């Protein structure tokens, strides 16, 4: 997956006059990268301030605390990473199968080039915080709802054009996300892209 | 998935004479439950000692520290949970499809009965520590290797008996684990068993 820090939506408030140096963006970028590498719980505020090169005062000017920052990372960085690496290529593709193939190949290629697999930023946070924290669960559920909706819309379109056998588009969309998420978990464990390739082979059969 | 604390293999050293009260087992049970609920990093030693009702001295008699405990939880609790909920039913089933169906239905039933989804203990730890810690990655990789081997053996058997179309059994085994793992991640996010049901429908088509 594209490093989360790279995805920078022009979110409301980004260019506020009291943030001329993009401090808030720097903090979000640093937090997204640290959460992705080592997890939310393992990341301390001091480490974050040092990485982002901001003062404690500047940090608390923009965020009420670590949790507020974490929720902003989900809304403004994780959601943008899914949009950029998954949803935009999917929308541009002629069919779901073509889109899924392009996404899996691009991500597998990036993992091979990086020689390190940090996992999917959305799934990493789901696994770490999905049960323990209801606020994170709600924010993450919103990201996954948009992901599933985009896939289900594409699948419905395929079915209407008879390039795909009719079945429940929401269930199939959920399954595609599950297969991708699980393959990314295995890729993280094995530190190689092979699980994504194996998943693409079977998904191709399911979507043909 | 069966709560990890319930799976108790009679591991070597379990009944050591200097552990008449099963202190070591109590610590492993408490740690497995806490890691499952809130994660490894979020679990402090003091909380663990209080939950297991053991003294610091007793804890350090059995474990060099939190990391040694974590690795023991993977070896003696997480591996046992996968064996009990996945591999034993799979081996007992006539085909891979029958085994996978039984496993998914049992786990979905348990999630519905518990009304809470804490996720798969193996995947939770992979997502939290799979990138950041090489020792945890090695221990977890061993658990997944056994999981994939058991599935690949069953798939190979199906193919030999011509109940399944010939293809790479290792890649298909990896895919089944990925689909399950991802569905459990979504189940954790949505706090319901529906993603497992959606995954089973598609896996049934893939294994028919």
Domains in chain A with CATH codes? 4-207 (1.10.357.10)
Segments of chain B with pLDDT less than 50: 1-10, 12-16
Q: Nearest-CA distance from B12 to chain A in Å? A: 27
The reported pLDDT for the residue numbered A115 is 76
Cα B208 from Cα A122, distance rounded (Å): 32
The reported pLDDT for the residue numbered A191 is 87
Residue showing tokens 């506020």: A16
B114 C-beta neighbours (distance < 10 Å), count:
11
The reported pLDDT for the residue numbered A37 is 86
Please give the structure tokens belonging to residue A182.
């699980």
Q: What is the pLDDT of residues A111-151, one digit of tens each?
A: 888 877 787 888 788 778 777 788 998 999 999 999 999 99
The reported pLDDT for the residue numbered A144 is 92
Given an 8 Å threshold on Cβ–Cβ distance, is B189 in contact with A126?
yes
| Bigger pLDDT: A84 vs A120 | A84
- Mean pLDDT score, A17-23: 67
In sequence order, what are the residues at sequence separation of 6 or more whose Cβ sits closer than 8 angstroms to the Cβ of residue B102?
Answer: B89, B93
Among B7, B23, B19, B3, which Cα is nearest to A131's? B3
The reported pLDDT for the residue numbered B98 is 97
Confidence label for A2 from pLDDT (cuts 50, 70 and 90): very low
Given an 8 Å threshold on Cβ–Cβ distance, is B183 in contact with A178?
yes
> If you compute the radius of gyration of chain A from its CA atoms, what whole number of angstroms results?
18
B21, burial (CB in 10 Å: exposed 0-12, middle 13-18, buried 19+): exposed
- Chain A's closest residue to B43, CA to CA, is A41
CB A72 within 8 A of CB A63: yes
Kindly report the pTM of this predicted structure. Answer: 0.85
Across all residues in chain A, what is the average pLDDT?
A: 87
CB A23 within 8 A of CB A58: yes
- Chain A's closest residue to B138, CA to CA, is A189
Given an 8 Å threshold on Cβ–Cβ distance, is A118 in contact with B127?
no
Query: Which among A117, A191, A195 has the least Cβ separation from residue B178?
Result: A195
Query: Which among A41, A131, A172 has the least Cβ separation from residue B119?
Result: A131
Q: What is the pLDDT of residues A144-199, one digit of tens each?
A: 999 999 999 999 999 999 999 999 999 999 999 999 999 998 998 888 999 999 99
A201 C-beta neighbours (distance < 10 Å), count:
15
The reported pLDDT for the residue numbered B147 is 95
- Chain A's closest residue to B117, CA to CA, is A131
The interface predicted TM-score (ipTM) is: 0.83
Given an 8 Å threshold on Cβ–Cβ distance, is A186 in contact with B189?
no
- Chain A's closest residue to B179, CA to CA, is A179
Given an 8 Å threshold on Cβ–Cβ distance, is B130 in contact with A119?
yes
The pairs formed by B68-72 with CB atoms below 8 angstroms and a separation of 24 or more are B69/B27, B69/B28, B69/B31, B70/B31, B70/B35, B70/B40, B70/B129, B70/B136, B71/B135, B71/B136, B71/B139, B72/B28
Query: Which among B119, B131, B202 has the least Cβ separation from residue A117?
Result: B131
Q: What is the pLDDT of residues B6-59, one digit of tens each?
A: 444 445 444 445 565 689 999 999 999 999 888 898 899 999 999 999 999 999
CB B32 within 8 A of CB B5: yes
Q: Nearest-CA distance from B41 to chain A in Å? A: 6
Q: Nearest-CA distance from A181 to chain B in Å? A: 5
Chain B residues touching A188 at Cβ < 8 A: 126-127, 130-131
Interface A-B, measured as beta-carbon pairs within 8 A, has a size of 163
Please give the structure tokens belonging to residue A114.
């990086």
Chain B residues touching A42 at Cβ < 8 A: 41, 132
- Chain A's closest residue to B173, CA to CA, is A198
Confidence label for A15 from pLDDT (cuts 50, 70 and 90): very low
Q: Nearest-CA distance from B8 to chain A in Å? A: 24
């Amino acid at each position: 997956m594209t490093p989360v820090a790279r995805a920078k939506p022009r979110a409301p408030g980004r260019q506020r006059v009291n943030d001329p140096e993009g401090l808030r963006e720097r903090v979000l970028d640093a937090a997204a990268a640290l959460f992705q590498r080592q997890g939310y719980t393992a990341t301390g505020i001091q480490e974050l301030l040092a990485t982002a090169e901001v003062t404690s005062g500047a940090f608390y000017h923009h965020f009420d605390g670590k949790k507020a920052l974490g929720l902003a990372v989900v809304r403004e960085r994780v959601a943008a990473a899914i949009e950029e690496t998954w949803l935009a290529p999917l929308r541009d593709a002629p069919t779901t199968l073509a889109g899924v193939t392009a996404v899996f190949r691009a991500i597998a290629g990036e993992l091979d080039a990086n020689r390190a697999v940090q996992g999917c930023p959305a799934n990493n946070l789901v696994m770490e915080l999905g049960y323990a924290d209801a606020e994170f669960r709600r924010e993450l559920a919103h990201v996954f709802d948009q992901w599933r909706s985009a896939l289900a819309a594409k699948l419905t379109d395929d079915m209407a054009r008879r390039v795909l056998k009719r079945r429940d588009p929401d269930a199939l969309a959920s399954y595609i996300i599950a297969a991708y998420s699980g393959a990314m978990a295995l890729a993280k464990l094995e530190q190689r892209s092979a699980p994504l390739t194996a998943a693409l082979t079977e998904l191709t059969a399911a979507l043909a």
